[in-house]
Chains A and B, each alone.
Chain A
Amino acid sequence: MQTTFTSSLANGITLTCMQAKQFKTSVLSVTMTVPLRKNNGFAAILPHVLLRGTQNHPNMLSLNRELDMLYGARIVPLIRKAGANLAIGFIADVIDERFTPIDLTDKVIDLICELIQKPALENGFLLSEYVESEKQNLIDRIARLKSDTRSYVVRRMREIMYENEPFGLCEYGDIEQIKNINAENLTEYLKQLIDTSPMQIFYCGSVSPNQISDKFKSAFSFKKCNTKPAENIILPPPSEPKYVTETMPVSQGKLAIGLRTNITATDSNYPALMLFSTILGGYTGSRLFKHVREKLSLCYYASCGIDKFTGSMTITSGIENKNAELAQKEILSQIDDMKNGNITEQELIDAKKNILDLLKSMNDSPLTLESYFQSGIMNNISLSLDKLSEQIQQSSLENVIKVGQNIELDTVYFMKGGENI
């Protein structure tokens, strides 16, 4: 397992380093966190506008040609929704320092800092041309969410489930609010963000944590920040589950079921919840795979996942319209069966092996590690893979059943395929 090194570069600025010598890829990310709100368009548009040009590289062509010379380093906008928070910034991947004669990591850090601190300006403001064009791109992106039906149904279900909580808000913001963005108010927003929001920096690669820390300290003028990430305040489920059906002009219907588990990542029962979800629908040995797909031939996919920050459990499947009720019934009856204690020791053993394998595999991907640790830190939670693996191993059958008994149905959303298609 990797050793992580976390330090504070200044008040509210966290640096997480994982020194790894087995990769040819290094990953760096720099994000700033704001609470999820309706005006998140301001945050979501920023990395896109900043990537249009800096003072040294005033347009994308110049910036992208510089990246070519850094062995095709990639710096892409990062917009991450986790819990009640939204982190925005950049994630970069680059060949590891060991494979180049130049100080590649330093150069990429300089470039990321330049993107944030020295954007291209006219009259002291971000370029109007860039702001307007990225507004349109963001609005188009929101409109496009519906055309990926498999992920859209989950998004729509959460919107309904969390109508009174921030978790249901779109990370790209609200179209009407985006229309109000201009060069002046976005420049002001950027300044405020740098001055007040918590910042998370991540590095995985062969360079030592001290070197990375020193480099960031010299490249970035950190302001003291006193704000904290928003707390994940989770409401109880509704007295009656919500059932919503909507129609879309597509051929396959899609079902998304949302449940509240009352357990989040910091809860001692969280590992048992992971096991419950895996036994139910986390892998090819799961109940949903074996019953809904293999036995009843109802679908190509039926799976279950949990969100560690909100404690929600989501089940999703693509099915023919006429099979919607049958699939829903089978899914809910599998949950009930598990809640009633009908989980075998063998199911538990198999699920443990599966989770432990996945957790261990995460160490092979710097990008996966980035997402795992940064999403925790932006919610003020420190997550250890070793500890989690240990707790998974120790979880008992009783524990898993007990966790299941607190799971409550919240929302059943069915996206019906249109009959005319």
Chain B
Amino acid sequence: MTCDFFYKIGEQMYSHVLSNGLKMYYIPKTNFSKTFAMLATNFGSADQKFQMQNGEILNTPAGVAHFLEHKMFEDEDGNALQKFAKTGASPNAFTSRNMTAYYFSCTDNLYENLDILTKFVCTPYFTDENVKKEKGIIEQEISMLDDDPFWNAYTNVYAGMYHNHPIRISIAGSAESIAPIDPELLYKCHKAFYSPKNLVLTVCGNADFNKIIEIAEKNTPKQTDKIANRFYGERQDNVYKNKITVKMNVPQPFFMIGIKDIPLAKNESQSKRQLIGELCCEILAGKSSELYNNLYKDGTLNRRFDAGYTIHPDAACVLFSGDSKNPQKVYQSIIDNISEFIKNGISNEEFNRVKHMHYGMMLRTLDQPDDLCRIQCECAFANENFATSSLQYDDITIDDLLNMFKIWNNENRFTLSEVIPLDND
């Protein structure tokens, strides 16, 4: 067990790796009432095609990681959600393109809850009957997402940016794609990606780390499977489609604009790339940027405008989203402003102001045990930790930002995804 202190941000973290490969972390928040625990696997909707340890290559249907997330709660002796219901904990789970995470928060009975969590994630129990039953529930979840303008714009922006990367497909899949999912396939996915080597457990709040280790040791398998080899297809610099438009029940267009960045290089620091990406987003299109303020002033944008940077397996991109009667104008402004920055540079004053702001935002996320656990799990998959990025502000230069803008400065990397009103011509 090791303990790291991050004095600058007033945090510390205990770490331990079990002999079966499970990485474990504990971030103390001793003055907090609740404790949050997350057990995550480095397996998300992007991991559709992979090779099992025995050589078998699987090309799984869209939505299988998410389906597995729903079904993991089922155990031979009952549903884990019902076990949590008896302890007072609030459990949940999510599947993203990159990972699947199971978590709970509680103010009491922590070790009992950890026992439930580590057991059910490591114990698959699928039957024809329980898989069939789940289809009805997931179909309704998909139907709910189909009606969500944000979700449509979000899925389509990836479908536009990527030619064949599985991140271009909706995380939950479709009613058709999940139809053939059966217990056998779910068992295979579990074997391929729920090995302790591929899992990270992070606990934040009030706990005794030794007890956490004890429970994890007891409930995770001693013998561990090798993590399957995944395939994400060939990468292209250019986007697949420059524009995707769908019509929905919206009074005015909602848009997402994506810029396809280059995937992370081998040995490149994920947290450093993420920080450079976020600073670029803020300088270009943050609340204190010329771009945002000009477009707000002329009525093209409102307060609901966001810019964010995301890293995926073998992919990275920037996403801008918001409401606008004229998404094309936002698109053009982004292109124009990027080339302006490349032409005129970034002033020290601007660079420092945005770093100052970003530091303040980062510091506040440390108050959110749920965010903190998620970030730590993601960082651990990349062999880094949550504090790495917060301590890197001094290592980043204006040139790092300009170099990123130079990659973005290419319209062939842009996709505009818009959801427009049904009565639009």
Q: Which residues of A contact B (CB under 8 A)?
A: 21-25, 48, 59-61, 64-65, 67-73, 76-77, 93-95, 99, 133, 136-137, 140-141, 143-144, 146-150, 248-252, 283-285, 289-290, 293-294, 297-301, 318-320, 350, 353-354, 356-358, 360-361, 363-364, 366, 417
Chain B, interface size category, equals: 35 or more
Q: A144-B250, A249-B249 are in contact. Are A299 and B137 (CB under 8 A)?
A: yes
B235 at the interface (CB under 8 A from A): no
Contact B251 A320 (CB under 8 A): no
Which of B10, B134, B290 lies in contact with A24, CB distance below 8 A? B10
Contact B107 A25 (CB under 8 A): no
Find chain A residues with CB under 8 A from B111 CB.
none
Find chain B residues with CB under 8 A from A294 CB.
79, 133, 137
Q: Could you pull out 23 A-B pairs where Cβ atoms are within 8 angstroms?
A: A22-B29, A23-B367, A61-B293, A67-B357, A68-B353, A70-B360, A99-B10, A140-B252, A143-B252, A147-B250, A149-B249, A252-B143, A252-B144, A283-B90, A285-B84, A320-B140, A320-B143, A350-B86, A353-B108, A356-B107, A357-B108, A361-B107, A366-B367
Find chain A residues with CB under 8 A from B297 CB.
59-60, 133
Scan residues 31-63 of chain B and give those whose CB is less than 8 A from a CB of chain A.
31-34
Find chain A residues with CB under 8 A from B361 CB.
72
Docked pose: A298 CA to B139 CA in angstroms? 10
A215 to chain B, nearest CB (A): 20
Find chain A residues with CB under 8 A from B84 CB.
284-285
B129 to chain A, nearest CB (A): 11
Scan residues 74-94 of chain B and give those whose CB is less than 8 A from a CB of chain A.
79, 81-82, 84-91
Q: A140-B251, A147-B249, A252-B140 are in contact. Are A24 and B367 (CB under 8 A)?
A: yes
A156 to chain B, nearest CB (A): 14
Q: What mask results when residues 342 to 360 of chain B are scored 1 for a CB within 8 Å of chain A, else 0? A: 0000000000011011111
Which of A67, A147, A251, A290 lies in contact with B143, CB distance below 8 A? A251
Find chain A residues with CB under 8 A from B86 CB.
285, 350, 353
Find chain B residues with CB under 8 A from A319 CB.
140
B405 to chain A, nearest CB (A): 19
Docked pose: A48 CA to B358 CA in angstroms? 24
B141 at the interface (CB under 8 A from A): yes
Docked pose: A351 CA to B347 CA in angstroms? 57
Contact B360 A71 (CB under 8 A): yes
CB-nearest residue of chain B relative to A250? B147
Find chain B residues with CB under 8 A from A357 CB.
34, 88-90, 106-108
CB-nearest residue of chain B relative to A363? B33
Q: A137-B302, A284-B81 are in contact. Are A64 and B288 (CB under 8 A)?
A: yes
A268 to chain B, nearest CB (A): 24
Docked pose: A157 CA to B358 CA in angstroms? 41
CB-nearest residue of chain B relative to A252? B143
Which of A143, A248, A250, A289 lies in contact with B251, CB distance below 8 A? A143
Find chain B residues with CB under 8 A from A76 CB.
303
Contact A146 B251 (CB under 8 A): yes
Contact A360 B107 (CB under 8 A): yes
Q: What mask results when residues 123 to 152 of chain B are scored 1 for a CB within 8 Å of chain A, else 0? A: 000000000011111101101101111000
B256 to chain A, nearest CB (A): 15
Find chain A residues with CB under 8 A from B85 CB.
283-285, 350, 354
Find chain A residues with CB under 8 A from B302 CB.
137, 140-141
Contact A361 B105 (CB under 8 A): yes
Q: Top 10 nearest A-B pairs by Cβ distance?
A: A285-B85, A71-B360, A353-B88, A297-B136, A22-B31, A72-B357, A72-B360, A143-B251, A300-B141, A68-B357
Find chain B residues with CB under 8 A from A417 CB.
147
Docked pose: A320 CA to B135 CA in angstroms? 13
Docked pose: A55 CA to B82 CA in angstroms? 57
B407 at the interface (CB under 8 A from A): no
Contact A249 B422 (CB under 8 A): yes
B299 at the interface (CB under 8 A from A): yes
Q: What mask results when residues 287 to 314 of chain B are scored 1 for a CB within 8 Å of chain A, else 0? A: 1101001001101001100000000000
Find chain A residues with CB under 8 A from B82 CB.
284-285, 290
Docked pose: A363 CA to B105 CA in angstroms? 13
